[in-house]
Structure 1
Amino acid sequence: MSEMTEFVQRYPAARIIDVAKALSGDLRLRILETLGERSMSISQLAETLGVAQPTITINIQMLEHAQLVSSMLGANREKICSVTCRSILLELPSKRGEGLHKLEEIHMPIGMYSRCSIEPYCGMVNREGVYIGCVDDPRAFYMPERTETSLLWFGGAGFVEYYFANPVPPGVSFSELRFQSEVCAEAPGFDMNWPSDISLFINDCPAGMITIDADYGDRKGKLTSSKWNGGTQYGKLVEWRVTDSGSYIGEERKSETTLLDLDLKFNQPIRVRIEVSEDAQNRNGLNLFGASFGDYPQDLILSFVQIHESGEEGN
């Protein structure tokens, strides 16, 4: 056993929920058991535990988020996983609000959209670059296998919409809502001069439009499978921000929409829609990248920033 797995991992009160979620699943406990003596790849874990690789990947991500497992890229660009500790120490909260993060993040796989509007040409592939359903057939976007999607695309206008849970309880507020995704335009094959206007809507409120200048395929994506022979390889990481004063992409103000306009409620989902609108000047589709494709090892991320007790009964 390596030295890095001998020490006690200390978790402050704000991390208890992360750890509890990570340890609440039987499969995740079996993964920790299996990694107890040596590091293993995702495929080795899948074979040893008799579980599909996408299922292992999702559960490893939960363990990584709780910092119970760390990963690195090994030979053949495969993820190698190791446990980070053998014992944990939880510090229980002693006053109201102490158990909350200053930053709460929800990670959403790109195939877990709740509704979509897709027309050919379009398609989806998994992390190995294998097509899900038939290419240019919108019916594929309603197949159960869509949950394994690592790259999806459509040409022209269309959208995918995701429902996120609101993790912020009544009586607590936050100063900023952020959304990150890796995206680019969608051209036949690829085209380094192919702009597309990509917009974000949160609870149907516009959070800003960005023009992505290309469908990037001039080099291999850092995480893109060597088996993928499609033209599109990587995208740009875009961050939308909604604050009390308006909506921004990076530091550029893009919309008048404020947090108050979103009308967020604790017991209702937050609807996030990534769209190329029918009236867009550059109506050239989009590619959306998951954690195992493109340049950035992340799914869609919705973040709640600077959470604090507000003294009110709702947010």
Structure 2
Amino acid sequence: MLNNDERSLKIYEALASRPRLTVIELLAKQDMNVKELAERLGFSSATMTMHIKKLEEAGIVVNQSVPARHGHQKICSLALNEFTAQFRSPAAEPEREYYHSSIGVGQYVDYAITPTCGMASRESIIGQMDDPRYFSDPGHLEAAIIWFASGYVEYRIPNYLLNTQRLKSIDITLELCSEAPGFNEQWPSDIAFAINGRHIGTWTCPGDFGHKKGILTPPWWNHGTQYGLLKGLRVTEEGSFLDGIRLSDTTIADLAIMNGRDLPFRIEVSEEARHVGGVVLFGKDFGNYSQNIEVYLNYEHVEK
């Protein structure tokens, strides 16, 4: 999710160039090396290297060294499939504030899952793969990636709201994808989300992505899935949305949130779904985005 912070600024700067936009268009069709890109745009290799560096710094393009006829060559590929931008005007909502929580993907408080399944920290696999019992291992708190074929994991969102604060909206961003054996770019999965026991919507993830290395995925990881898509959930007084597109008519009022009580947040792939394609959840040390499950409880002050 892009806004007006420093990380987003790098992306805006990288996109503010017609040659770099052309590079993105070319890489969307196929991976290419610097020489090939330079020839297509009519640039020198040095100039093209400068443009690629700018795109790398923004996290849009990634370089991988692969064997060539003489030594190795660096192949450029897209690191992002999509992104969304969200802007808020302090002038329009001068009294709006928020509570922020960063929840690790291994910090779930409840689960019921079926294989394939497993989890790993930044350094190694936790427990044994495809054995749901290891989701109770105390080491799950250190997980940076978790996956399962069906079922759910449930997290607790801290609720620090006071009696003088009224919840206006909830924003949740997270990186996730489907879960296929190995990986499969065409592997749809109906992933459902619920807050405080109320269904807020279902999103069909298109696939399980593994054809190129995740930007943050550690070198030792060779289990197929490499990265996910960064998705933004939002529940407001008007309804529930994913990346700005309406998911359902469930509103903040429908969640019946009470001050002093944490909010259960469930991520589920039901065995009754049309596409039972599992889910992979990425923390800040795996995938393409350096973040956990980020939650914002946006509120306004009210008089008592």
Which residue, out of 144, 147, 158, partners 1:150?
144
Distance 1:233 1:304 in 2: 30
Instruction: Indicate the SS of the match to 2:202.
Output: strand
1:135 aligns with 2:129: yes
1:311 aligns with 2:298: no
> Does the aligned pair in 2 maintain the 1:208–1:240 contact within 8 Å?
no
- Report the CA distance between 1:174 and its aligned residue: 3.1
Q: Counterparts of 1:181-192 in structure 2 under 5 Å? A: 181-192=174-185
Runs of 4+ deviating beyond 4 Å: none
Distance 1:105 1:296 in 2: 18
Between the two proteins, the alignment pairs up a number of residues equal to 212
Match of residue 125 from structure 1: 120
Amino acid at match of 1:120: P
> Does the aligned pair in 1 maintain the 2:177–2:209 contact within 8 Å?
yes
Match of residue 68 from structure 1: none
Distance 1:290 1:198 in 2: 18
Q: Counterparts of 1:147-226 in structure 2 under 5 Å? A: 147-155=141-149, 157-226=150-219
Which residue, out of 289, 292, 301, partners 1:299?
292
Q: Structure 1 stretches of 5 or more lacking a match?
A: 1-97
Q: 1:89-124 deviations in whole A, cap 9, x for unaligned?
A: xxxxxxxxx9x9723211101111010011121000
Instruction: Indicate the SS of the match to 2:115.
Output: coil
Distance 2:141 2:194 in 1: 22
Q: Counterparts of 1:32-71 in structure 2 under 5 Å? A: none
1:113 aligns with 2:108: yes
Distance 1:117 1:301 in 2: 23
Q: Structure 2 stretches of 5 or more lacking a match?
A: 1-93
Distance 1:302 1:272 in 2: 10
Match of residue 102 from structure 1: 97
Which residue, out of 259, 263, 279, partners 1:286?
279
Distance 2:171 2:272 in 1: 25
> Does the aligned pair in 2 maintain the 1:207–1:241 contact within 8 Å?
no
TM-score (structure 2 length as normaliser): 0.67
- Report the CA distance between 1:199 and its aligned residue: 1.1
Q: 1:217-236 deviations in whole A, cap 9, x for unaligned?
A: 01100100011111000000
- Report the CA distance between 1:278 and its aligned residue: 2.4
- Percent of residue pairs identical: 38
Q: Counterparts of 1:244-259 in structure 2 under 5 Å? A: 244-259=237-252
Q: Counterparts of 1:227-242 in structure 2 under 5 Å? A: 227-242=220-235
Distance 2:122 2:200 in 1: 29
Instruction: Indicate the SS of the match to 2:156.
Output: strand
Match of residue 262 from structure 1: 255
TM-score (structure 1 length as normaliser): 0.65
> Does the aligned pair in 1 maintain the 2:269–2:278 contact within 8 Å?
yes
Q: 1:239-266 deviations in whole A, cap 9, x for unaligned?
A: 1111111111121111111101111111
> Does the aligned pair in 2 maintain the 1:207–1:240 contact within 8 Å?
no
